[in-house]
Amino acid sequence: MQIASIKYLTCFFMLSISQVEKIADLSHIYLSEDEKVKYQKELSELLDFGKSLQNVSTDEVEPLFQVTGLEAKLREDVVVIYEGADKIVQKSPHGTEGRYFLLMNILARNT
């Protein structure tokens, strides 16, 4: 059973091209002008669909935390001393600072 089809939604809220550019920039994604227009429409429809969910009445719906009926099988915590920690630290490609690994900056902008 198909509940909703985003493809045929009427868009009541339209993202601006500058908002799409900001989303792409934050995601480190390059978009062509055609893609910006395409994603402007698609993201706007998606946001409209999400907004329409706010109008769904859940007054008579019982809170649901688990749908499959399966239960988590818990086990006792056991402390295990790992002897190879020094080997792992030595193989860190960017070195360490105290007990922390140094990592390359993945958030830096390539300009």
Residue 89's pLDDT is 80
Judge whether 108 lies within some domain: no
Residue of 67, 74, 71, 22 lying closest to 43 (CA atoms) = 22
Average pLDDT (37-46) is: 93
Instruction: With respect to residue 87, please indicate whether it lies within any of the assigned structural domains.
Output: no
Domain count, the chain: 1
Residue with tokens 């007054």: 59
Model confidence pLDDT, tens digit, residues 68-85: 888 888 889 999 888 887
Alpha-carbon distance of 47 to 8, in angstroms, equals 14
Share of the chain above pLDDT 90, in %: 32
- The answer as to whether 39 is a domain residue is yes
The boundaries of the domain holding residue 35 are: 8-54
What is the domain-level CATH number for residue 13?
1.10.20
Residues 15-31 have a mean pLDDT of 94
Q: What per-residue confidence (pLDDT) applies to 30?
A: 95
Tokens describing residue 73: 């099988």
Identity of the amino acid at 37: V
